Structure 1
């Protein structure tokens, strides 16, 4: 059997705070495993015909989260792939239940100072617009970490290069699959 074959049988859903690398690590993970990659944020933008920032400003966060939930449900109906979810997606009870039923969830976790430095470089994130990124991330971590902890696998990424994080994710997934096979 090919070494990554067991990891190709179910969708792998990456969850975690903004800036942790769900999209960039997800792309590399998908390439390594020979799976398609899907980015929930990009899929929401395509479905809505506008950017996430535009959705937030025109319709508000609840409308965005509703569209995100519908898009993730549709993606989870498809064949196995690597799915980068939005930072708040796993907070939705229905989305979390769907991910638990149809995917293996991986919480990518990094130090908040590292994340603040990363997200502070971009102005495309509506939740931190005109705010201190570290303060926003601290508030999100307080609310989201207990829910992210429900993920099947947790990978502490630190500030490692993406290929190292991909290797950590694969190792953690193999360990998880080995435990669930017992």
Structure 2
């Protein structure tokens, strides 16, 4: 079920026993919404990309440049596995994390996955403001972004929950996620 456009009222209280992992494209708002969500749920928040940079003691762009994407994905998988051991939290992942079959299987087995689904215009508006996205350092960054969306959206659709990430304030998107999580948990057999 996709949660989207309607104005959202204050979300019901939710008891979280599993980590909530936010997946989606770069620029979908995973970190900004994740911080809001963690604050409301009184859970720790982790940004996987930040944790990877901390563990590697260098930027993601440097890791890509020096070692390549395969090396980065292996490190990303290890960092995510470590974070999932720490108990319930809110985890914002990089855009490619859910694309890795091993990482995706681990998340689907041990967490509640939420896809923040944003359209091209919203994503481009957000990612074009910053230049630190290694996958967009191409001759045609718009075309690259469109191709990434084409490749990734069918896989992101495997997440437990889909929530629209549009131009609404991050607080409103976090409310949408809270409602979606509450609805999902309510629909699960006891």
* TM-score bracket, shorter-length normalisation: over 0.9
Query: In structure 2, what is the equivalent of residue 38 of structure 1?
Result: 46
Secondary structure of the corresponding residue to residue 188 of structure 2: helix
Higher relative contact order (CA 8 A, sep 6+): 2
Secondary structure of the corresponding residue to residue 21 of structure 2: strand
Query: In structure 1, what is the equivalent of residue 95 of structure 2?
Result: 87
Secondary structure of the corresponding residue to residue 87 of structure 1: coil
Unmatched 5+ residue regions in structure 2? 1-11
**Is 1:13 the equivalent of 2:13?**
no
Deviation at 1:177, TM superposition (A): 0.5
Equivalent of 1:77 in 75, 85, 89:
85
User: Aligned partners of 2:169, 2:116: CA distance in 1, in Å?
Assistant: 13
CA contact (8 A) 1:110 1:159 kept: no
The CA deviation string for residues 105-163 of structure 1, in whole angstroms up to 9 with x for no partner, is 00001111110111011011111124443312210111111110100000012111101
Secondary structure of the corresponding residue to residue 181 of structure 1: coil
Equivalent of 1:56 in 50, 64, 83:
64
The CA deviation string for residues 81-128 of structure 1, in whole angstroms up to 9 with x for no partner, is 000001000011111111111110000011111101110110111111
CA contact (8 A) 1:13 1:99 kept: yes
User: Aligned partners of 1:80, 1:131: CA distance in 2, in Å?
Assistant: 41
Secondary structure of the corresponding residue to residue 73 of structure 1: helix
Unmatched 5+ residue regions in structure 1? none
CA contact (8 A) 1:157 1:165 kept: yes
CA contact (8 A) 1:29 1:82 kept: yes
List structure 1 runs of 4+ shifted beyond 6 angstroms: none
User: Aligned partners of 1:110, 1:75: CA distance in 2, in Å?
Assistant: 26
Comparing both structures, which one devotes a greater share of its residues to helix? 1
Equivalent of 2:13 in 4, 10, 14:
4
User: Aligned partners of 2:47, 2:59: CA distance in 1, in Å?
Assistant: 13
Count matched residues.
179
RMSD over aligned Cα, in angstroms?
A: 1.2
CA contact (8 A) 1:113 1:134 kept: no
Task: Give the structure-1-normalised TM-score.
Answer: 0.94
Q: In the superposition, relative to structure 1, how do residues 122 and 131 fare at CA in structure 2: closer, same or farther (>3 Å)?
A: farther
